[in-house]
Structure 1
C-alpha cells in the first residue's frame, strides 16, 4: 500500500504559535547583558550566572534558560547541568557584547522595552489602522521619541543595531569607484557613513538627521576615529532640501511613511544628486511575489504598530516610484538576511 509522506503536521503551527517564548528568552538575555558578562569572563558556570545576575529562581530554571540559548545557537556549552560551562558563540560575541562597536543589541533592547508589549495590540491595529504605541493618543511618534533623551538614545541604538550588518555589507558590495561623496538621510548614529568610509578610503560621508541626534552621531564618529571623512549635518528632511552628494542613502526611512511621502522623499533625493548619481534605500525589500520575505512583511506590520500609515514594499513598488520621480535605471543588491539595497540611478 502506498504510504503518504506528506502527512499534516502541527509542528510549524506550534513553532510559530510559541515563537514569543524563544523571542523572550533571547530578549531577556540581552536585557540582563548576559552576553556582555560572558565576554568579560570568557566563560561561566550556571551558578556564577545566577549569582551575578541576582536570580532567585531554582538552579533548574537557570539551566533551562541557558540550555535553550545554547540550542538556539547563542551560547556554547561544555558539560551538563551543574558541571556545564557556558560561553558565547562567535555571533553572540561579535554582535551582543555591549562593549564592542559591532553591538547590535540596541534593536533587541527596544523590542524588549517597547515593541514586545505594543505588538500585543496588533489586532487592534488591524481593526483601526491606528498606531499602537506611545502615539495612540494622536501624538506624532517621532516627536515623542526625539523630545525624550532616553527614548531617543534607545531608538538611535535600535536603528543602528537593526542595520549594522546591512551597512557593513553595503559598504563592501556596492561599487563606489565613481563616487566621492555620500549623504545618509536620517543617519541616526552615523554607522552607515562610518562603514562606507572605513571600507572605501576615497569617500567622504555625511550623516544628516535632526539636531537632537547630532551629539550621538558625533560621539560615534569619534569612537571610530573617522572625523576626517565623516561629518554630521543637522536638519529636517521634510522641511529643507537634502544636501547635495553623489550618493543619497536612506536606511529604514521610506518604510515609515505612506506612498505619497515615500515619493516625496525620493524626489528630494533625486534633486540632491548629480547626473548618474545613486539613490539607495536599505530595507527589508519584500519579494515581488510576496512569498518569501516574511521579515519584510513583519516589519511592514511593525510600521502599522509604529506609524499607522507606513509600510514596507517590493522592488516592483520601488521601480514604480523611481519611474514617477524620473530615475533612469534601478537595481537591487542583496545584503544581509532579508534586507536589500534598492538602488535608483539618475
Structure 2
C-alpha cells in the first residue's frame, strides 16, 4: 500500500521520548564550557577539543558529540571527522560564551547540576504532590543555600536576569507607560526590569524591591547603566510587609512559585500598592486558555511541582479570575518574548 501523508508515524513519539538525549548533549557542552573555549580559539579540530577538555572516550565518540551539536545548530563545522574544524554558531557565540554579558548558560548550568536528576522523579512528584528537589532528602531549600553563598547567588540572579532580558525589553517598549510615572518591581532581583523601563521610558522612576541579599547586585546594574537618578533599590519581604507604592507594580516569575492562596495574597498586596488607575503586571509563561499551544508554560508549571510541590503556572483566564477576586477593574495580556507574556490587571 502506498504511504500517504496522513499515515500514522512514530516520529514525534520518538523525538519526545528521546528528548533527554538532545538536552544532555547541550548541557554537557555547557558544563564543559565548550562554547567559551571556542569563542576564545575561534576554531578547533576535534582532537584539539578532546585534548583541551581531557576527554578519555574514543575519537569516534568525540566526533559524534561535536557533530550532534553541529546538527542541532549549536556549532558550525567545516570538513569531516579528522579534518573537521568546529566553531560556535552565531547564537551560541552570543548566548553561551561565559565571558560575554549576554551569557544565559547559568540557567542551563542549573538544569544540568540540579533539575536534570530531579526531573527523573516526576512520577513520584505526581503521585505524592511533594517537591522532588533537595528538600526531598531532608536538606535545606536550594534557595536558602543560595542566599548563604554570595557568589552562587550572584551567578543565579544574573542567570535569571539574562534569560528574562528579552521580556524586560519587550515590556519596556510595548506597555503603555504614558499614564504612569512610577514603577515598583516586586521581587526585582538584579534590578534589570527597572533599568530597562527607565532606559526606554525616560519619564519613569523605578524601584527594585527584593530581599537585602540581592540589593548590591541591583545597585551594580543601576550604576552600570548610569540610571541612579531614576532607579532605586529597597529591601524587604513581600509576604511579611507591604510592597512599596508605585503607579505600576510588576512581578516577574513570582506568582508561579506559589499555590493559589498565596498568589491571591501577593496580588492583593500589589492592589494595595497602586493607586486607582494603576496597573499590576505579572510577567510569566502564561499558558494559553485552551492549554494546547504554550508547551513551555506547561512544562514550567510541572517544574514548579518539582521545585515547590504547590506552585504552578497559569492561563490568562486564571489570572483574570484572580484579578476579579482581588478587586481589579479589568485585565489584558501582552505577548512578550518567546513563551512569555505580561498579564495586566488595572485598578
Inter-CA distance 94–177: structure 2 relative to 1 (3 Å threshold): farther
Could you tell me which residue of structure 2 aligns to residue 109 of structure 1? 109
1:140 CA displacement: 4.9
Trace 1:246-325 onto structure 2 (pairs within 5 A).
246-325=247-326
- DSSP 3-state at the match of 1:276: coil
Could you tell me which residue of structure 1 aligns to residue 32 of structure 2? 32
Contact 1:171/1:200 (8 A) holds in 2: yes
Could you tell me which residue of structure 2 aligns to residue 120 of structure 1? 120
Distance 1:225 1:68 in 2: 43
Inter-CA distance 97–205: structure 2 relative to 1 (3 Å threshold): farther
Contact 1:102/1:164 (8 A) holds in 2: no
TM-score by length of 1: 0.93
Q: Does 1:211 align with 2:212?
A: yes
Inter-CA distance 135–334: structure 2 relative to 1 (3 Å threshold): same
Could you tell me which residue of structure 2 aligns to residue 49 of structure 1? 49
Inter-CA distance 102–178: structure 2 relative to 1 (3 Å threshold): farther
Distance 1:57 1:73 in 2: 23
Could you tell me which residue of structure 1 aligns to residue 148 of structure 2? 147
Distance 2:250 2:171 in 1: 11
- DSSP 3-state at the match of 2:344: strand
Distance 1:86 1:202 in 2: 47
Inter-CA distance 134–151: structure 2 relative to 1 (3 Å threshold): farther
Could you tell me which residue of structure 1 aligns to residue 11 of structure 2? 11
- Report the number of matched residues: 346
1:329 CA displacement: 1.5
Distance 1:90 1:173 in 2: 27
Runs of 4+ with deviation above 4 angstroms: 1-4, 138-141
Distance 2:25 2:210 in 1: 34
Contact 1:141/1:306 (8 A) holds in 2: no
Distance 1:125 1:324 in 2: 30
Unaligned runs of 5+ in 1: none
Contact 1:107/1:160 (8 A) holds in 2: no
Moved more, 241-250 or 31-40: 31-40
Contact 1:166/1:336 (8 A) holds in 2: yes
Q: Does 1:75 align with 2:75?
A: yes
TM-score by length of 2: 0.93
Distance 2:227 2:41 in 1: 31
1:314 CA displacement: 0.3
Could you tell me which residue of structure 1 aligns to residue 60 of structure 2? 60
Distance 1:94 1:229 in 2: 29
1:154 CA displacement: 4.3
Could you tell me which residue of structure 2 aligns to residue 92 of structure 1? 92
Trace 1:180-191 onto structure 2 (pairs within 5 A).
180-191=181-192
Distance 2:10 2:57 in 1: 32
Contact 1:107/1:157 (8 A) holds in 2: no
Distance 2:10 2:193 in 1: 42
- DSSP 3-state at the match of 1:23: helix
Unaligned runs of 5+ in 2: none
Post-superposition Cα deviations, 1:19-52, rounded to whole Å, max 9, x if no partner, equal 1111111111111222222222233222332233
Distance 2:143 2:47 in 1: 43
Distance 1:65 1:331 in 2: 45
Could you tell me which residue of structure 1 aligns to residue 331 of structure 2? 330
